[in-house]
Structure 1
Amino acid sequence: MRSAFDFAPFRRSTVGFDRLFDMLENSNAAQGQENYPPFDLIRLSDNDYRIELAVAGFKPDEIDITAQQNVLLVTGRKKEEGGEKDNNYIYRGIATRSFERRFALADHIQVKGADMKDGLLAIELVREIPEAMKPRKINIGDQQPAIEAEKADA
Structure 2
Amino acid sequence: MNTLSLSPLFRRSIGFDRLNDLFETAMKSDAPSYPPYNVEKHGDNDYRIVVAASGFDERELEVNVENRLLTISGAKEQKEEASQVNYLHQGIAQRSFKLSFRLDEQIEVQGARFENGLLKVDLLRIVPEAQRPRQIAINGRTSQSLEHQGEAQRETSAVSVA
- Under a length normalisation based on structure 1, what TM-score does the superposition of the two structures give? 0.71
Q: Is the 8 A contact 2:32 2:99 kept in 1?
A: no
Any stretches of 5+ residues in structure 1 without a counterpart?
6-18, 143-154
Question: What residue is the counterpart of 1:92 in the other structure?
Answer: 90
Residue 36 of structure 1 deviates from its aligned partner by: 0.8
Hey, what's the Cα distance between the residues in 2 that align with 1:55 and 1:29? 24
User: Residue 45 of structure 2 aligns to which amino acid in structure 1?
Assistant: N
Alignment of 1:98-109 (within 5 A): 98-109=96-107
Question: What residue is the counterpart of 2:20 in the other structure?
Answer: 21
State the identity %.
36
- Under a length normalisation based on structure 2, what TM-score does the superposition of the two structures give? 0.67
Question: What residue is the counterpart of 2:47 in the other structure?
Answer: 49
Q: Deviations over 1:20-41 (max 9, x none)?
A: 41331331214x5331111111
**CA RMSD of the aligned region, Å?**
2.3
Q: Specify the SS of the correspondent of 2:23.
A: helix
Alignment of 1:4-153 (within 5 A): 20-30=19-29, 32-137=30-135, 139=137, 140=140
Any stretches of 5+ residues in structure 2 without a counterpart?
5-17, 143-162
Q: CA distance change for structure 1 residues 26 and 47 in 2, over 3 Å: closer, same or farther?
A: closer
Q: Specify the SS of the correspondent of 1:22.
A: helix
How many residue pairs get aligned? The number is 125
